[in-house]
Each structure stands twice: as structure tokens, then as C-alpha cells.
Chains A and B, each alone.
Chain A
Amino acid sequence: MDRRSFVAGSAASAAALLTRPAAAQEAYPSRPITVINPFPPGGAADVVMRPLVAVLEPLLKQPVVVDTKAGAAGAIGAQVGANAKPDGYTLLAHITSISGFAEVDKLFGRTPKFTRDNFIPIARFVADPCVLIVNDQQPYKTLKEFTDDAKKRPDEIIYSSSGLYSALHIPMALYMKAAGDLKLRHLPTNGGGPALTALLGNNSQALASSVSACLAQIKAGKVRPLALFGAQRSKALPDVPTMKELGYDIEYYLWVGLFAPKGTPDAIVTTLRGALDKAAHTDQFKTAMTNLGQDLDYMDQPAFQKFWDADAKRIEEAVNQIGKVQG
């Protein structure tokens, strides 16, 4: 246990003892649990959480309800999660982008409404690496050809993303920095679907997409994968080299994890971890993830905490690298 969660945990236990002595004896969970989904229904967090709660309910012997609080690219749901009562009855499902909100706020001189410190990570379920794709009208067959051409024609090749500082903007920023401050032109859209549509219509030429979102288009030959942002090659795309193999020390995943508000008692977190571990490893949940085109990539709290810290560092750097856009 690191110092942060130790302090947070003990402070919370003390608070719980002082304010609600009766509740401390109450076995957790004794009433329904709410999981906040900060994205629209059918979105990245929703499709993981729905099958998860289905297997979690019989284990916890309490209903687990997914409550959608969408808006502001996931910031509203995260804020609700951060301010929820830390009693283990309100949890937050979130994705990679949870790490960037506070950094963007700082960039604009706004006081962040929440930071990473407001959350206790509990578990990570899937981590879908991004893949750099170009449309079939582009000549590039390898990342090298793409990089070389981009160097020759700075600021001319257009890449689309799901929005400024969004989950699909960050990986391109990482790549551009690693390739020696490459200059590409950014076309923000308002979601992963529109970003892919822009690429297919050749309104943009490149996109960093999650593998599951563009696999069907790759198989149909409409887009060509150049490099994978994962540490290892993807099972679905065994021929696509990783960025690391190509000499760029970058990694980027769209992961989905579960968080509790800061101050949630340790005992409750332990109960949840046990139940989640079991739930995530059921065949039913594994099949559900395979259907989504992602394999279960489970991480329990200690591993997830370590992964999250490293991941957040990359994202914070990328946000600052993008900086404020002059418009």
C-alpha cells in the first residue's frame, strides 16, 4: 500500500468510526450498489459494466445498478463519482481519459473540479491498445513511409480525433512527440464514430483508433494499420508491429476500470476486490469481452494503481505537449 491510499484509508476509517458507529458493524453490502457510467449508453464503459454487474450481483447478493451520467466527455460522471459518499455504494466506471481532466483544467488556469487523488482505483478489466490507421487512398504501407512523408510535408497530413485532448487525440500527440516533433494537422470531431467517418471519407488521412472500433474496417481493407500502441502485438492484428518495435518508446491503451471515491473504507474496498476478481474471471464475463473484440486484461488494485500512475504520467505529458490551441 502506498502512502496516499494509506492516509486516505485511515482517515476514512477514522471518519467512519466517528460519525456512524452503527454503520461500521453493518455487513457490506447491505443495499443496492450504483455504478456511475459517465458515457452515453453503449459507450466504452457501458458495454463492459453491463455484463460485469450481471455476474457481480450474485456474488455480492445485492443489486448493482448502472447509472448513466453522461456529459462533457465523461467529466460530469467523474465529478459525480468524486463527490459521492465514500461508503462503497457509489462506484465510478471510467476510462483512460479520467487522468486528463485535471491537467486540462490547469492548462486553462481553472481550478480542477476533481483530480486523480479523489479516486481509489479498484480494478481494471480491459485495455484495448490504439492502432494508427490510414485510409485506403493513402500510399503509406509502413509507419516509416508515413513519418517520412509527414516530415517532408509538415502540417499537411490531417488526422482526425474524437475531440481536443480526447482519448484518441492523446496517442497521436504521443506519437508526434516521439517522432521528433512531427507536424500534423488536427481535425477534432465529436466522437470516435465521427472521427472514423472522417477518415473513411478521406476528410482526414490518419487516425489513432482503438483496435476493436476499427477491426471490421481493417478486415474489409478500408483502412490500413501502420503501428500498434500496445506493449505486445495484438492477437487480432498479429502482423502489425508495435511502436516499441519501431523504435518509439510509447504505449497507449483505452482501458476501462472501476473506482471508488476517496475515503472509502479499506474493508469495503477489499470486499469489492474479492468479488470483482471472481466476477471478472467467470466464463460469462470473459465471453462478453471477447464478443466486444477485447480480451479480459484484469488488474487487481496494486497492479492497477501502478499502471494508472504510469499511464496518467503519459497523458499529463501529452496534454501539456498539445498545450493550448490558438483558435
Chain B
Amino acid sequence: MESTLVSLLHGFSVAFEPINLWYAFIGCLIGTLVGVLPGIGPLSGISILLPITFGLNATQAVIMLAGIYYGSQYGGSTTSILMRIPGEASSVMTCVDGYAMAQRGRAGSALCIAAVGSFIAGTFGIVMLTVVAPPLATLALKFGPPEYTALLTLGLIFLAYMSSSSLIRTLLMACTGLMLGMIGIDNMTGHFRYSFDLVELGDGIGIVPVAVGLFGLGEILSTPSKNVTGKVMAPKLRELLPTTQEWREAAMPIARGSVLGFIIGIIPGSAHIISSFLSYALEKKLSKHPEQFGHGAVAGVAGPESANNSASTGAFVPMLALGIPTGPITAVLIGALMVHGVSAGPQLVTEHPDVFWGFVASMYVGNLMLLLLNLPLVGMFVSVLRIPYAYLYPLIIMFCIIGVYEVSHSIVDVWIMLIMGVFGYGLRKFGFDPAPLVLGLVIAPLFEQSLRQSLIMSNGDYLIFFSRPIALGLMLVCIALLAMSALSFFLKRNDWRTKLAVAEAGET
């Protein structure tokens, strides 16, 4: 512990060198922008800037690139809250309640809560990273395909909690998402599925084009048919800050989101994307007023936004402690280190303490910078809403198209986004909530791969999911959740969801 402190102090001395502070700032600034711009996610942001870092040294390179990554998780909430366009895949859930809050004139409050929640979660993540990285990293290795399958089973069950519409509508959306997730090359046999001879569809349908299309374009397309009063929603300065009541509602979700996000972030692969979904579902399950979710519940913003930030920090645990690229973003970071002759491996700490501790310390500094950068920007971002729709929306559509194209330079992705925009318009008109669809799309390919990998490992024996401790634990949670639902079904208790279905039936 003492040696950790000494090393960390050394790290701060590296991080506080003016040149390193500068690169941390640049990284955080670009990260915020990347997060704000719809379509362009952290991966494309880092990729575009990777060549620039070849001229820097290893510490500067990793400080700047990592800044882009966690910075983007701050910025991702902005467009979600203001315009219902997810800046990142991990900000999809923020679109639901954040936008609802904005519609009630609480945009500034939602942005503040998101920024502060992100700061708390990010800092919590780094403290954990500093203190317990090595043992946690071993845990990450224990998270093999069977554990993944069990976690995603939990995700599938949570799908039902994902929306503010009735169960049948939610499941319909979820199934559509799961089916869209089946498109692409079958990793196990090499067959193309539903690809219509388009090589681009071989990699499956991207989450970003679908999320931006369904939420953002769908919203924009539905605007002309709504009564747009000329009145602008932009609030006064005093109204930008959250009320005491809102802070109180946000406190526990931020705490829970921080812990949950960090744990999920450690898991190798793309699990971090589902951290915000799981946090949302958890908050809704725990909330005394689940019916408020979808209509501007503070917890629906605070939880997911905190979760995605601590997840982005958690993702560094296996990368730093084990030196393995567990996801696409950490792979790029390891590539950036390798170019400078720093081979990431279990001995990174001992061989390159400057890089390791400088990087860790820079994240403390970076998170503070992001908070100071984002809070004053809240007022400015909210002012964006003053721009008349006739000018604002075409600009947004342009940014969406550029952003989505930039991800993999694929025009097919742009078409997917546009088609999903029209589809999203239809969904909005008929009162379907697209969030479960996006989660289904995220889960399907991961679930299929990990399920089939598990069965390869066990030679077809399904008991593998119950014979490994972590998998067993997660499966028991699944069974408990299903049992609870079944119980309330048999007892014919009318919960909020049944009431909703009745209300929906009454509407039509």
C-alpha cells in the first residue's frame, strides 16, 4: 500500500509535467468533442489521432489517447440529453430519460448530473484501478465464455425492464434487435448470414448507425408533424443547476452505477457497452417509482452515465495489469505503446513505471479537467437549443452522416443509419421504444458467440454454465429474477407494467 502511494506520487510528478498536462488536456478536449458529435465514437476518435502520437513519447501518447476514451464518455451524454441522439453506443439509455428531462426544461440539470456523476464514477474507477488492479485482473481472466453467456442471459432478462412501454411492445422491439444481431458471418462456420452478398454486412450491423438512426434521425423526422411552438426551451442560468431534490435522487444511482460499471468494465471484450443498460435496468428495478422511468427520472440519467464512465476506466485494468488487448479500444492503445517500444505485458509496471504510473496519475488529473471543462459548457450546450430547428436539424443530420461514415469508412453504414432513421420514425409514431432494440442488437452477437464457445469448451454439455462459480452465481440471479416475476404473475398482482398495458389499451 505504501509503495503504491510512493509510486503514485511519482506518477503525479510525471503527470504534472507541463507537456504531459497539455496532452492530457488535448485528449480530454478531443474526447469531449468526439463524445458530443453523434456517430463519431471513441474508437474512431482514437484511430484518427493515432498517427499523431507516433511523434510523441509513449507516456504522452497513452495519456492523450486514453483522455479521448474517457473524455468521450463525458461528452456522450450531451446530444443524448439535448436532442435524443446518442453520442456513443453507451449513451443510448441517457436518450430516454435525459431527453425527457430536457423536454421538461431540465436540460441543464440533466447535463450537470451527468457531468458530476461521470466525475465521481471516473474517479472511483481510478482509485480502484490504483489499489486493486492486479487481483482484479486475475478475475478478468476467469471471465471466460461461460461466464459471459451467464452475464448476457441476465442482460436478456433485463431487456424486459428496458422501456416505458408495455411488456409486449418491449419484447417485440427486443426480438427485432436480436434478429438484426444475427446478420453477418457466422464466426464458427464461416457462412454468411442474411448478408445479400454485401461484404460489408459480413461484420454484422453496427450499433452506432442503428442507435443514431433510430433515436436521432427518428426524432428529427418526427418533428415536422409536431406542433413546434416558436418558443425556445432554453432555460435561465439559475435553472441550469439541479435542485436539492434532484441531487438527492441522483446520489445513490451514481454510487451504484460507479460500482456496477467498474465491475463490468473489467470484463474482457465489449461488455462495457452493456454497463449503462444494466445500470438503467437496475435503477428501474430498485426504484420506488419505476413508472417515472422514460418520463424524465433523474436516476435514469445518473445511473447509466456514471456506469459508462467507470466502465471505461475498468477496461484499463486488464490492459495495464495483464497487457492484453481485451477490446478494440485497448488494442489501439497497446498498438500505440508498441510503436514506442513499450511492450504491454504483465511486467509493464516494473519495466516502464513512468509510463504506467504517469498514465494512472494523468487520469486523476484528466477527470478533474473534464469536470471543469464540462460544467461551464453546460450553459453553452443548452443554448444550442435556441437555434431554430430549421437550421439545427440539417446540421445534425450532416454530423450524423459524417460521424457514422467515419467509423469504418463504409457507405453501407450510412445507408443503415438512414433506413433505421425512417424505421425509428415509424416506431415513434406507433409508440414503440427503440431502446430494447438497440440492447438486443448489442447482446445477440456476443451471446451467440459466447454460448457457442462455451459449448465447444464443454463438448456440448450445458452443465458448464452451472459448474463454474461465477457463471453459477449469475445463473442463480437469473433464476431468482424469473421466479420473482413468475410469482407476481401467479398472484395476479397488478404492477406498474400491467397498469401501463391497460392504459395503452385504453388509448387506442
Contact = CB atoms under 8 A, between A and B. Distances in A.
Given A43-B335, A68-B409, A194-B269, A108 B190 contact: yes
Nearest to A196: B324
B334 interface: yes
B47 A41 contact: yes
Interface string A185-203: 1111111111011101111
A200 B322 contact: yes
A119 to B, nearest CB: 17
B252 interface: no
Contacts of A198: 144-145
A58 interface: no
A324 B189 contact: yes
Interface string A37-49: 0001111001100
Given A190-B449, A197-B326, A217-B346, A67 B457 contact: no
B453 interface: yes
A197 B456 contact: no
A186 B459 CA distance: 11
Contacts of B327: 193
A25 interface: no
A219 B326 contact: no
A50 B54 contact: yes
Contact of A164 (B144, B187, B453): B187
A327 B188 CA distance: 7
Contact of A216 (B54, B186, B188, B344): B344
Given A42-B331, A194-B269, A216-B343, A188 B50 contact: no
A252 interface: no
Nearest to A191: B331
B480 interface: no
Interface in A201-242: 201-203, 212, 215-217, 219-220, 222
A292 B346 contact: no
A19 interface: no
Contact of A75 (B141, B202, B324, B456): B202
Contacts of A196: 324
B154 interface: no
A43 B449 CA distance: 22
Interface in B177-193: 185-191
B96 interface: no
A194 B326 contact: yes
Which of A40, A75, A185, A216 has most B Cβ within 10 Å? A216
A254 interface: no
B202 A71 contact: yes
B346 to A, nearest CB: 4
A72 B332 contact: no
Given A68-B47, A72-B203, A190-B449, A293 B343 contact: yes
B185 A158 contact: no
Contacts of B333: 42
A50 B346 CA distance: 27
B451 interface: no
Contacts of A203: 144-145, 453, 457
13 contacts: A40-B331, A41-B47, A42-B335, A47-B339, A54-B54, A68-B408, A69-B408, A185-B459, A200-B324, A201-B142, A293-B338, A325-B188, A327-B189
Given A40-B331, A191-B331, 19 more contacts: A40-B328, A41-B50, A41-B335, A42-B336, A43-B335, A71-B200, A155-B459, A163-B187, A185-B456, A187-B457, A188-B187, A193-B325, A216-B323, A217-B324, A219-B345, A288-B339, A291-B340, A292-B338, A327-B191
Q: Which 5 A-B pairs have the closest CB atoms?
A: A216-B345, A42-B335, A291-B341, A193-B325, A41-B47
